[in-house]
Amino acid sequence: MEKKPFYITTPIYYPSGNPHIGHCYTTVACDSIARYRRMQGYDVMFLTGTDEHGLKIEQKAAEKGVTPKEYVDEVVKTFKKLWSYMNISYDRYIRTTDDYHIETVQKIFKALYDKGYIYKGEYKGKYCTPCESFWTESQLDENGCCPECHREVTEAKEEAYFFKMSPFAERIEKLLTETDYLQPKTRATELVNNFIKPGLEDLCVSRTTFKWGIPVTFDDKHVVYVWIDALSNYISALGFWNEQYNDFDKFWPADVHMVAKDIMRFHAIIWPAMLMALDLPLPKHLAVHGWITFNGQKMSKSLGNVVDPFILGERYGADAIRYHILREMALGADSSFSNEIMINRINSDLANGLGNLVSRTVAMVDKYFGGTLPADREEGEFDAELIAEAKGLVAKVDEFMDKTQINNALAEIFKVVSRANKYIDETAPWVLGKDESKKARLATVLYNLLETIRIVSTLLSNFMPTTMPKVWEQIGAAESDITYENAGKFGVLPADVTVHRGEIIFPRIDVDKEIEE
Ligand code: ME8
């Protein structure tokens, strides 16, 4: 049977500085969903990339005395290094400086112009250079500064092309309020009241004041300004209006675009408008998450309050970082980053919860049975409840993953980890181990624990792909045991399974020592 396609995208990030933990969050979240869907049997296309044009990049490159392309080439290396370090399984990486993307953007711009949706006008407004954003007077903060970074803005005026938004207002309002395009839906009211009800403003889509952009083919004074260039990546990367790829028919419309709230408006209003203008189908879901904040402010390159994922990963391990950010962030809400919360979370869930469960179970199989379980069994109290919870887990995780609620999916998995640790206390294997006549009961308890670990670690491998194979090695699971179908079954490991004691998977971190440093 042909596999069902599944297309998921991250935003394409600005390489105006190195990636930080905020970029990591969206990418790790998409990676986990992509892995989960692959495990479920979908044919997945997972796209990420970089948004490489614009004034900010031009300025950064000039500061360094290199060309913009030389500058972005270096930063893109760091992005790719980080994604490899975080074990990100992207299928395609798009750079907006790639020729095929440029070709698509130029064709889209021309098509929108030919259809009468793009026209020439004059732009007047307040411009924030670090954010590359024009603001209206009413959008500025209480000091008349940029509402995002709170720096000074300058008066700017120039000839520019505009994209007509009003023809799409009604359809977009319906999309936001009557469909489940936007996740969480609670954000729809804010968008409708702030942007649609007051009348959708036309969008400035070209600039003449900087050169580092895609030239407008029919008016070469202009370069395409930010959003038409950036948003088109989601289709140029599939080969829409270029010869590089041929996947558009298979993967479009996208199943999930994931972004944070800073760029929600562009994805909730402008992107659908562009697609409507091009007569293309709309993406199925836009998942919008909050910000990772640091001391109450959005972590961002322009504010300079970034947390370096390489340093964190070096210290705590890439999977521990992945787990922490995925578990902390609830779709829709902000999440404040703190080393202390992270260390406590790693200790309680990973070191004490999962790590302990694995090492205690494997150590007991070793201690009482020399590493290989006997095949004799004796069922007992508490078994049925543990087995039911373990077998029922995949359905619960599915439900949350379908709603892009990764934190809740993880919470369900860790409930089963806690249940298994409680089962150890309830069944007291160390008491059974003292009594020769209880050997079959002891083997059953340990087998149930190994099976629960198999199920839990199979599901968790989508979120922590580096460490879970080490768990499989320790519990004696073969590669063929680790499948989505098997995650819903109990009794997959052979009755006489052999375990392999190994290193501690998640070492405990000394909170006091770490925080002092
Ligand atoms: O906006 N918390 O690029 P960008 C959570 N190029 N997520 C964060 C974050 C934080 N503190 N900081 C960044 C752009 N992100 C455009 C996008 S898409 C067609 C063009 C993540 O480098 C989050 O996904 O500013 C956010 O939406 C994105 O990075 C912004 O990245």
pLDDT 10s digits, 213-243: 999 999 999 999 889 999 999 999 999 999 9
Strands (E) located in 21-180 = 43-50, 92-95, 118-128, 133-135, 154-163
Binding residue positions for Zn(2+): 128, 131, 146, 149
* Integer CA distances (angstroms), 275 to 166, 225, 269, 439, in order: 14, 17, 10, 66
pLDDT for residue 332: 79
**Position in ligand 1 atom list of the atom nearest CA 233:** 19
- pLDDT band at residue 517 using 50, 70 and 90 as cut-offs: low
Residues making up the annotated binding site are 128, 131, 146, 149
Q: What is the dihedral of CA 456, 461, 464, 466, to 10 degrees?
A: 130
**H or E segment and range at residue 84:** helix 68-85
- Show the 3-state SS of 163-214: ECCHHHHHHHHHHHHHCCCEECCCHHHHHHHHHHCCCCCCEECEECCCCCCC
What average pLDDT score do residues 458-487 get? 98
Which residue minimizes the CA distance to atom 4 of ligand 1? 13
Q: Would you state the structure tokens that stand for residue 22, as one six-digit string?
A: 């905020």
Asked whether residue 338 carries a pLDDT value surpassing 70, the answer given is yes
Neighbouring residues of 422: CB distance < 8 A, sequence distance ≥ 6: none
Q: For atom 26 of ligand 1, which residue has the closest CA?
A: 260
Q: What one-character DSSP code corresponds to residue 223?
A: E
Local structure of 94: helix, strand or coil: strand
Sequence-distant (≥ 6) Cβ neighbours of residue 451 within 8 angstroms:
387, 390, 490, 491, 492, 493
Query: For a substitution probing ligand 1, which of 23, 76, 88, 407 has the most ligand atoms within 8 Å of its CB?
Result: 23
Question: How does pLDDT run across 400-446, given as a tens digit for each residue?
Answer: 999 999 999 999 999 999 999 999 999 999 999 999 999 999 999 99
Give the tens place of pLDDT for each residue, 246-292. Answer: 999 999 999 999 999 999 999 999 999 999 999 999 999 999 999 99
- The DSSP letter of residue 51 is -
Q: What is 246-265 written as a DSSP string?
A: --HHHHPSPSEEEEEGGGHH
